[in-house]
A = this chain, B = another copy of it.
Amino acid sequence: MASKAKIGILGASGYTGSELVRLLLRHPNVDLALLTADRRAGQAMRDVFPQFAPYELPQLVSIDSVDWAGAKLDLVFGALPHATTQKVVTDLLAKAPKTKVVDLSADFRLSDPEAYKYWYGHDHASLDLQREAVYGVSEFYREEVRKARLVANPGCYTTCAQLPLIPLLKAKAIAPDEIVIDAKSGMTGAGRSAKEAMLFSEVSEGFHAYGVGQHRHMAELDQEFSKAAGRKVLVSFTPHLLPMNRGILSTIYVRGEGGKSPEDLHAILVKSYANEPFVHVLPFGETPQTRHVRGSNMTMIGVAKDRVPGRAIIISALDNLVKGASGQAVQNMNLMLGFPETAGIDQVALFP
């Protein structure tokens, strides 16, 4: 269909790649024109993800084999590992400067070259693009995303923490130095690499924290929380792995500031998200479950009163592969290409 946008996915053999395929196969405005997967080049998508066997999809190719100028893609999703991405995107945009990019890696999320170097241990390979990139929590940067050529899709943990906290920090309603974020993620957040620690028998029927005290996701949180608060914010953040596939739940401990009660915090969030299709704030005192957003682009947020005076407990839940990755990436694509913002990502959660 001539009027549909031509879309490419780099890294289609991983979980965020396959989730993009799932969503875009049913998106009314796009055609999947290109799928890359270097180690699986030459294979069909059904060999890599058998759920796609009934559908027609382009064969997997290697990135090197793509003629970016000739491909005439309207938009490319980058679902590649960190560091690889900045080289590929630089090359792509040099050869096809009109193609738009939504990058799901961490490569373009940090705007400060020094912060990037601190957390990743090397200089960024493409400082111009780092400067150009728009950070893409759609709800906070909608207008910038609409105009962007390159969007850095945010991380799953950080989207889950930012949606409840950014409006409160902007309103100066909570104490920035006493925020504790205890975050728990399903296993798909760890990707599809064959590591012993990710085997079923190592993961099922058990639970643990990782990256305790120091974790790269914090860089993104520092950047966005500090921007929202207008001062440096450093939070305590501990990620954990859940014996399940999809879902992140963040339990966030905050203290109200300027006399703000837990009910006040709730009211700020209700107002902030009143018209957002993908953020749902529950009635005061109710808290969400990951299962009720599974497979959907929805984020659910609840606020409850702590028994410790002045303190509130905020809980947010989203599907790490949808709103935490590929769903938000499609949401950003919709903004960038002028499609309705909910196109292709309005599925209702799959429960049970």
- Interface residues, chain A, with chain B CB atoms under 8 Å away: 15, 18, 21-22, 25-26, 49-55, 178, 180, 182, 184, 187-188, 192-196, 198-209, 212-214, 218, 234-236, 238, 240, 242-247, 249, 251, 253, 280, 282, 285, 287-296, 298, 300, 302, 304-308, 311, 313, 315, 317, 346-352
Contact = CB atoms under 8 A, between A and B. Distances in A.
Contacts of A242: 207, 242-243
Nearest to A21: B348
A247 B207 CA distance: 8
Q: Lowest 10 A-B CB distances belong to which pairs?
A: A206-B291, A208-B289, A51-B292, A182-B182, A201-B352, A51-B349, A200-B203, A212-B304, A54-B280, A187-B200
Copies of this chain, tallied across the complex:
4
A26 B346 contact: yes
Contacts of A351: 18, 49, 51, 206
Contacts of A289: 50, 206-208
B184 A313 contact: no
Contact of A243 (B22, B218, B244, B282): B244
Contacts of A249: 207-209, 240
Given A53-B292, A292-B53, A295-B295, A251 B209 contact: yes
Given A212-B315, A294-B206, A253 B180 contact: yes
A307 B209 contact: no
A154 B245 CA distance: 30
A200 B204 contact: yes
A25, A240, A291, most chain B CB atoms within 10 A: A291
Contacts of A52: 348
Contacts of A285: 212
Given A26-B346, A212-B302, A236-B311, 18 more contacts: A51-B293, A52-B348, A53-B282, A187-B199, A188-B352, A194-B198, A194-B199, A198-B200, A200-B200, A205-B245, A206-B244, A206-B247, A207-B291, A208-B288, A213-B307, A238-B251, A246-B352, A350-B350
